Amino acid sequence: MNIEYLEKPIREIELLSIPVEEGKQKIVKELCGIKPGKEFQGKEGETYFFPLAKGKIKRFFFIGLGKKPTPEEYRKAGGLGVKRAEILKLESCCFMVPKEQYSTEKICTTEEGAILGSFRFDRYKTKKEKETKKIKKIGFICRKKDLAELRICKITAEAQNYSREINYYPANEMTPRKLAVFAERMAKKEGLKFSLYTKGEMKKKGMGGVLAVSAGSAQEPVMIRLEYKGRGGKHIILVGKGITFDSGGISIKPSRGMDSMKYDKTGAVNTIAIMKAVANLKLPIKVTAIIPASENMPDGNATKPGDIITMYNKKTVEVLNTDAEGRLILADGVALAAEKKPDLIITMATLTGAAFAVLGTHGIPMLSTKKEYSKMMYESGIKTYERVWELPMWKEYSEMVKGEMADLKNIGSEQGYAGTITAGLFIKEFAGKNEFMHLDIATVDLMENSNEYLSKGPSGKGVRLVVEFLRRLSKR
């Protein structure tokens, strides 16, 4: 997206969108010479369109925000402004936050909403939609001193769009190897180090978790690594779940909704997108991404319920349900991460259906071994509106994944109870003495319906959250 920052509306503007707080509607009169009546007072949900402007600005679109709006309301206004421009088949649009409302955060969140709202994916449509047009350029009228922050928000929102883009590819195209190709392409472009373990190498290393999950698939699994080394700072390793399709394996899932399991790679694509943002932002911190990628399929070679496998760190696991595959591939990834002794390991995964019972679709369940980090992640969630909520890691939950015949089992006893916690604690068994944090994004990876700035489909939620967290960490 072509983004432009202006101090004043100096050139011709096709559409100027203006978020208006309740009671501050006099801006309409100032700009258009018309005082709106009851129909527009800046209340939440109200809009006022003025198409007949005479000067440089051709059209105005006022978006009501209600009283004391949160930054999220400005994100929504950003999305609504772009949508209106598209309906009008314009190629560009511009945003202005009125002087008496203006703040750095407000113009930045408007920008986020506009960039996220402009995302379209129509790769597989042979006839491109004629009704709406893709916006090519978005302008923001802003203070000079906000340019640095606006640039950061642009990079981060574009990274989120990048995650949405590559997540859209269905499993027949996005195989584990293809995911590696995408990661490599991004790494080359952004100057990151890229490396990979093939199936053969994982066999030699004894990565039994990834091998067990991929056993029933015709597609070879991979373990992808991306490395970013900013100057100084802490070392964080992100481990993302890259299941390019989760059929459940022998413990097969019901047909209904199974297609959405092509998005079981969201942890992986988010991780790739986060690395892209980190490189662009040149954060003074060291970040490594480890991405185990595999399909989970049933066939004659597939892992069976009851099989016992040996993981990369030599722990043994009873596979009691082949649909609990995410934790098996992540366990090998985390064990590999643990060898590097980083300051923190963060796993991101569409891990459990149980997460829906915990927070619905409005939050991301989090586990963390360190209060300082969970607090920082919580605050990053508030800031980005990708909110997290910490769950306990009591020892009774760890006991629920202790195996009977082997060290561990891949589902908790008392099946169905505390599934999100036991899944995270299973993975923690592979983190050694390292600090560990886990984000279960199962409920936020996919938009079932569009909202003001995110369309239906993969959401990319979790990208802005972790980038914000890494920014905060790099400031310490």
Active site residues: 253, 327
Residue whose CB is less far from ligand BES, 275 or 351: 351
Q: Which stretch binds ligand BES (CB under 6 A): 134-142, 311-319, 323-331, 333-341?
A: 323-331
> E-assigned strands of 251-327?
286-296, 307-310, 316-319
Q: Which of 73, 264, 332, 386 binds Zn ion (CB under 5 A)?
A: 264
Identified binder of ligand BES from the candidate list 187, 215, 354, 418, rule CB under 6 A: 354
Q: What is the dihedral of CA 206, 209, 210, 216, to 10 degrees?
A: 110
Return the residue of 326, 412, 458, 462 that touches Zn ion, per CB under 5 A.
Answer: 326
> Which of 167, 244, 294, 352 is the binder for ligand BES (CB under 6 A)?
352
The full DSSP string for 373-437 is HHHHHHHHHHHHT--EEE----HHHHHTTB-SSSSEESS-SSTTTTHHHHHHHHHHTTSTTS-EE
318 binds ligand BES (CB under 6 A): no
User: What's the closest the beta carbon of residue 444 comes to ligand BES, in angstroms?
Assistant: 10
Cα–Cα separations (whole angstroms), residue 275 to 192, 271, 278, 426? 8, 6, 5, 26
Tell me whether residue 276 or residue 428 sits nearer to ligand BES (CB atom).
428
> Which lies closer to ligand BES via its Cβ, residue 146 or residue 264?
264
Decide whether 96 or 261 has the Cβ nearer to ligand BES.
261
| Helix H or strand E segment including 354 | none
Dist. CA 348–CA 425, nearest whole Å = 14
Residue 290 engages ligand BES in binding (rule: CB under 6 A): no
Instruction: Give, as one character, the DSSP assignment of residue 169.
Output: S
Q: Which of 70, 198, 321, 451 binds ligand BES (CB under 6 A)?
A: 321
Regarding 295 and contact with Zn ion (CB under 5 A), the answer is no
**Which residues 214-253 are close enough to bind Zn ion by CB under 5 A?**
243, 246
> Of these partners, ligand BES, Zn ion, none, which one is at the site of residue 442 (CB under 5 to 8 Å by kind)?
ligand BES
Q: Measured from the CB of residue 161, what is the shortest distance to Zn ion in angstroms?
A: 24
Tell me the closest approach of the beta carbon of residue 327 to ligand BES, in angstroms.
8
Q: Binding to ligand BES (CB under 6 A): which residues in 419-438?
A: 419
Rounded to whole angstroms, the Cα distance separating 287 from 56 reads 46
Question: In the complex, which residue's CB is closest to ligand BES?
Answer: 353
**3-class secondary structure, 470:** helix
269 closest CA partner among 429, 125, 466:
466
Q: Kindly state the DSSP code that residue 253 receives in the 8-state scheme.
A: P
List of E strands, 67-215: 92-96, 137-141, 193-197
Task: State the nearest-atom distance from the C-beta of 181 to Zn ion, in Å.
Answer: 22
Residues in the chain, how many? 476
Helix 147-168 crosses helix 104-117 at what angle (to 10 degrees)? 20
What is the greatest pairwise CA distance in the chain? 79
Q: Which stretch binds ligand BES (CB under 6 A): 38-46, 228-236, 349-357, 374-382?
A: 349-357
Distances (CA, A) of 317 to 159, 210, 313, 401, 408: 36, 12, 11, 10, 5
Window 202-261: residues binding ligand BES (CB under 6 A) = 246
Cα(212)–Cα(94) distance, integer angstroms: 52
Residue from 274, 411, 431, 439 touching ligand BES (CB under 6 A): that is 411
In the list ligand BES, Zn ion, none, the entry touching 73 (Cβ below 5 to 8 angstroms by class) is: none
Region from 9-17, 33-41, 72-80, 347-355 binding ligand BES, contact rule CB under 6 A = 347-355
List of residues 6+ apart from 359 with CB closer than 8 A: 365, 389, 443
Q: How far is the CB of 239 from Zn ion (least distance, A)?
A: 15
Binding residues vs Zn ion (CB under 5 A): 243, 246, 264, 323, 325-326
Binding residues vs ligand BES (CB under 6 A): 246, 264, 321, 323-326, 350-354, 411, 419, 442
